[in-house]
Amino acid sequence: MLRQPLRELKEISKKGNQEWALEMSNLLLEMKKYIDRVKKLDCNTEEETIKDFVEKYDFILSKGFESNRPPQDSEVNTSKRGKKAQSDAKNLLDRFSKYKTEVLRFVTDLRVPFGNNQAERDIRMTKVQQKISGAFRTRHGADIFFRIRGYISTLMKNDMSVINSLEAALKGEPPIPE
């Protein structure tokens, strides 16, 4: 997904009469709770439970599609040229349908986290760098920046001291995260 799905579902359920969005949000949180419990107990997921989750997911999607039909070809937007745009709810439904495997990956592969917060944090510094200086002056400078950011991110993920590790790296003795 491009953005955090729960955030979008919450926004859509607030905007209009989108009952399916609240149901989908609750289902995803229920799945997360189940997966957290499985990880804590260090056991395997039950195929029947996963199958039930997927069936509920599909049912909620079908409810959403029923209440958010695409604009008809005959519906023309009078203020602009072309067809009338789909609603945000319909666009989200389309993404949930198209990327179903990716959305539910955290249920089928326990190594995948529920949210994409870490990925967002990893990208944030790059966006800040672009906003402040506009862009990287050279490809080599960008490569160096990303190599350092990647190393710092890996250190943080492995609970290693960033400052001490960078000092050691500058002395030629970089600690290697496990």
pLDDT digits (tens, 9 = 90+) for 53-86: 999 999 999 999 998 887 665 555 556 666 677 8
pLDDT level of residue 25 (50, 70, 90 thresholds): very high
H or E element at residue 11: helix 5-15
In this predicted model, which residue has the larger pLDDT, 157 or 173?
A: 173
Would you state the pLDDT for residue 2? 37
Q: 100-105, long-range: CB within 8 Å, 24+ apart, which pairs?
A: 100/57, 102/1, 103/1, 103/5, 104/31, 104/53, 104/54, 104/57
Q: What is the value of pTM for the model shown? A: 0.65
The span from the CA of 96 to the CA of 28, in Å, is 12
When pLDDT is averaged across residues 92-96 and rounded to a whole number, the result is 93
Would you state the pLDDT for residue 21? 93
